[in-house]
Structure 1
Amino acid sequence: MQFVKDLFAIENQEFKLLFVEDNIVNREYILEILKHKFPNIITAENGEQGLELFSKHRPDLVITDIRMPALDGISMAEKLKEIDPELPIIIVSAFGDREELMKSIRTGITRFILKPVNNKELLAIVEELINLIRLRRKVKLQQQFIETILNSQKVITILTDGHELLGANHAALSFVGFDSLANLREKHKRYCDFFLDGDDCLASNEDWLSLLKNMPNQ
């Protein structure tokens, strides 16, 4: 099955890192730490070069210094986040400046590491973020698989946990007049918005899953 093959591919995928550091000594030192466990690493000497290499290679994770010529690390990170809001970015800095830390948080920096870099800490953080990337991709793949199954059904099919809308196939979306699940969720948070109260209908505030379980001989 293609779904299983795709899951296996994600599990065994080799991830690509971009490391941006203007100081050659620091760059070679950290590169030496990383390359034994993460061989697919691209290096850049400043933020501008980092942006160019990101556009060219689309790495999965970025590690960058803050203070660099041409374009500093935080400014580069802001531009990268515009391209890919979910991109994990690690800031490595020799300065514990509070303003830099707050700006990093506002930018959406994933982690902040102070120099001198602790080898084990750096490797553990990179490994943690790669596992997070892998998990996100698996979840996305599973969602696509569920959507494929739902859309293969010609009957109106809605997926719910009993309260919120989790999924709906093309037939259901067409029936209620929406072109996407995102637009449907934006206007209707609960599945019961589509059901009428009546003698033969469930009231909108009833837990229909519990009712079904408790119905005798059903």
Structure 2
Amino acid sequence: MSIDRNLLKRLTLLYVEDDDVIRTELSQLLTNFFSMVHVAKNGKEGLRTYLENQDHIDLILTDVNMPELNGIEMIKKVRDFDTKIPVIFATAYSDSEFLVEAIKLRVQEYIVKPIDVRYLISLMNDVASNLYQDFLLTQQQNELEQYKEIIDLNNIVIKMDTHLNITYVNEHFCQISGFLQEDLIGKEFKYLKYHDMGNDIYTNLYANILNNKPWQGKLKNIKKDGSSFTTDAYVIPTLDETGEMTGAISIQKDITEELNKKREIQLALMREKSDFFIKSKEGNLEQNQVINELKHKLGKVQIELEQSLKNIDRYIYNNEKYRLENKNLKTELGLYKKNSNTNTAFKFSKENSDLRLENKKLKDKLTQLGLDDEKIISQQRVNYEIKITELEDQINELQEKIDSIQTDDVLLQKLEYWKEKAKKETSRIENLEKQIIAHGDTTFMNKIFN
């Protein structure tokens, strides 16, 4: 068997031996294996050493036959203070009387002198291994007790028998529910069900537990005053060493406050959405009013534009009329030159002079009309461009406001409609200008647009 020095190094040994040679040699050897070795030369000294270091001594190796106080008597006194400390006897004999006494004192092992050191170390290694397992088990039990205490302080704990009748409820549950333990002991677990909770949840819970399966979910429990509280529940069956069900235990966490907070948040969100909807509706009315005002302004601009187009048409008509009259005058003047005699020519010369003067006046008047109309058209074009730009800016601002308040499809469609209409009006103006250019006199158009 291999020796685990690490296990032995965790232990402190008390070695009691009356033979000086054996005690010196073996203690020096054992010092290599244990963290500390206390040495005594008889039972009385061994008992005193133990009492002085009992909190630190883990194992006792003692001879049986010693002066003043033998090994059996020493261990009897040790057992008055510690019933579990391992003991190994080293003895020169092995009669039945000794063995009976050793059994009564719960001696771990005994070894016959002369001592086989290898066998002794092997025995001590077994003892060290057992002590380490006990240490781990104790540590786990302590941890489990701590976990149990933490769970018991912060969670609801309910224990049940094989029929799922309540056998225990902790103080935390009593504080929340208002029940006392005596109110619930012997009652079925389902007794805690709140009246508006469905039976199917408990049917599923019972089926799982009775089939040795855990169950997890939310339970709505009743309080003693008739109100309710909600928990996150985990119910598991408890089993014995053969795997048979011995009952069940339920660990629950009260989540009533969390659920109430969630409901409050949901209600607040609903109220906020409602307020936002009302504000959006009010905002829509304001935007509709602004759009109606813009439509009114746009209508006025369209009327002014139509009036301007009529003026342009009138100007084009007068211009064409004067051009035809001028052409007719030139034609008549040519005929007069060909068909009249000298007197007539003289007379015609005078009339022609008058006609030229009249023609000059007409040209001046036509030029002045052209200049006046050019100014009017230019000013109206500038005015319309400014008004259209202002309307487009207002529509853009309105679009930005609508985008920041809400994304109502109807408003977006209306805005798209008016934007499209504004584009069409702009296009219409551009088409009218093209028509003016197409039908107007080249010289006059050059004066207007250059």
AA aligned to 2:33 is: K
Letter in 1 for 2:213: K
Any unmatched runs of 5+ in structure 2? 1-5, 163-167, 175-179, 192-207, 216-234, 236-450
Given the alignment, which residue of 51, 63, 67 partners 1:55? 51
Higher relative CO (Cα under 8 Å, sequence separation at least 6) belongs to 1
C-alpha distance 21-196 of structure 1, shift in aligned 2 (>3 A): same
- Which of the residues 105, 108, 123 maps onto 1:107? 105
User: Please, which runs of 5 or more residues in structure 1 have no aligned partner?
Assistant: 1-9, 163-167, 178-193, 202-207
Q: Is the counterpart of residue 213 in structure 1 residue 213 in structure 2? A: yes
SS, match of residue 64 in structure 1: strand
**Greater than 2 Å deviation, 4+ residue runs:** 10-14, 153-160, 168-172, 174-177, 194-201, 208-215
Deviation for aligned residue 1:128: 1.0
1:213 maps to a residue whose letter is: K
SS where residue 116 of structure 1 aligns?
Answer: coil
AA aligned opposite 2:101: K
Pair 1:157-2:153 in alignment: no
Q: 1:79 to 1:209 in 2, by over 3 A?
A: farther
Is the counterpart of residue 127 in structure 1 residue 125 in structure 2?
A: yes
1:32 shift after superposition: 3.5
Q: Highest Rg: 1 or 2?
A: 2
CA apart distance, 1:145: 0.9
Counterpart CA distance in 1 for 2:171 and 2:8 is 36
What's the CA shift string for 1:164-193, capped at 9, x where partnerless?
xxxx99749x9769xxxxxxxxxxxxxxxx
Q: Corresponding residue for 1:43?
A: 39
Query: Offset of 1:146 from its aligned partner?
Result: 1.0
1:86 aligns with 2:84: yes
Output the CA distance in 1 between the equivalents of 2:35 and 2:118: 17
Distance in 2, Cα, partners of 1:73 & 1:133? 22
Q: Which letter does structure 1 place at the counterpart of 2:61?
A: I
Q: Could you tell me the TM-score, scaled by structure 1's length?
A: 0.69
2:19 to 5, 19, 23: 23
Identify the range of structure 1 (91-100 vs 30-39) with the bigger mean alpha-carbon deviation. Answer: 30-39
Matches of 2:136 and 2:60, distance apart in 1: 21
TM-score normalised to the size of structure 2? 0.35
* Structure 1 residues 114-151: Cα deviation after superposition (integer angstroms, max 9, x where no partner): 01111111001111111211211211111111111111
Q: Provide the identity percentage.
A: 24
**Structure 2 CA distance for partners of 1:36 and 1:101, relative to 1, 3 Å:** same
Segment drifting more, 30-39 vs 69-78:
30-39
The 1:139/1:171 distance shift into structure 2, 3 A limit, reads farther
**Alpha-carbon distance change, 26 to 210 in structure 1, aligned in 2, over 3 angstroms:** farther
The answer on whether the counterparts of 1:63 and 1:89 sit within 8 Å (CA) in structure 2 is: yes
Residues 200, 105 of structure 1: CA spacing in aligned structure 2 closer, same or farther, 3 A cutoff? same
Compute the displacement of 1:209 (Å): 4.7
Contact 2:7-2:125 at 8 Å conserved across structures? no
CA distance in 1, matches of 2:185, 2:158: 12
CA distance in 1, matches of 2:169, 2:148: 5
Query: Counterpart amino acid of 2:19?
Result: N
* AA in 1 matched with 2:135: R
Stretch of structure 1 that moved more, 14-23 or 150-159: 150-159
Q: More helix per residue: 1 or 2?
A: 2
Deviations 1:79-116 (A, max 9, x none): 11121111000000011222111111111111111011
Given that 1:16 and 1:41 are in contact with CA atoms closer than 8 Å, whether structure 2 keeps it comes out as: yes
Q: Write the distance in 2 (CA, Å) between the matches of 1:129 and 1:139.
A: 15
Residues 65 and 93 in structure 1, CA contact (< 8 A), matched pair in contact too: yes
Residue 183 of structure 1 is matched in structure 2 by: none
Is the alpha carbon distance of 1:96 and 1:158 closer, same or farther for their aligned partners in structure 2, counting shifts above 3 Å? farther
